[in-house]
A and B are shown apart, each in its own frame.
Chain A
Amino acid sequence: EAGVAQSPRYKIIEKRQSVAFWCNPISGHATLYWYQQILGQGPKLLIQFQNNGVVDDSQLPKDRFSAERLKGVDSTLKIQPAKLEDSAVYLCASSYGPEQYFGPGTRLTVT
């Protein structure tokens, strides 16, 4: 069974630029999550999708972050404009049951 795929693996941008991350969940997993993991901390939820609908986006900084999951499969997370404090690893996870399965993450560095 293929795991959660994410791209790119690494991205370096300057502040005020925009960036997008892509996630392909495990086949058949209806629930998809985006987490932000800042160095030295545990992951924190940004947004949760159930199929192509948003379940929880209460912690998403909506003035600069956006996410979509068209057709209930792949998802894209965008940051525009980026700030220095957005430097982190962005993890995508998917689930069918209680446990979530994580992708390798995208390490974003904002300079």
Chain B
Amino acid sequence: AQSVAQPEDQVNVAEGNPLTVKCTYSVSGNPYLFWYVQYPNRGLQFLLKYITGDNLVKGSYGFEAEFNKSQTSFHLKKPSALVSDSALYFCAVRAPANQAGTALIFGKGTTLSVSS
């Protein structure tokens, strides 16, 4: 069965410092991996995805993520955090394209708090 784990409920960083939000996954075959961000009373916004290719993927708002197949991880990173990055972040996985269902399996979310 597919699953996603976000081991930290909350991550606190100071503005200007680098940030990392952790994600590990379990899926058979080659995974499709995603990061979404959710602001209060708003839907999820797509940040970035890994399908194949370079293990370091770049996304919106200066975020990037590193795919590590041996550690089954897909950690979200940003070199310099902004107060406006404070939000709820979700990691998600879906089965490879050869399977009929393409729904996302989400982690429970990690709240990022950036202090000024």
Residues of A near any B CB (own CB < 8 A): 4, 31, 33, 40-45, 48, 55-56, 91, 93, 95, 98-105, 107
Contacts and interface: CB of A to CB of B under 8 A. Distances in A.
Given A42-B90, A43-B106, A104 B101 contact: no
B101 A4 contact: no
Interface string B79-103: 0000000000010101001001111
A45 B32 CA distance: 17
Interface of B: 4, 32, 34, 36, 41-46, 49, 51, 90, 92, 94, 97, 100-104, 106-109
A99 B49 CA distance: 7
Given A91-B43, A101-B46, 16 more contacts: A33-B103, A40-B109, A41-B108, A42-B90, A42-B109, A43-B44, A43-B104, A55-B102, A93-B44, A98-B34, A98-B94, A98-B102, A99-B34, A100-B46, A104-B43, A107-B41
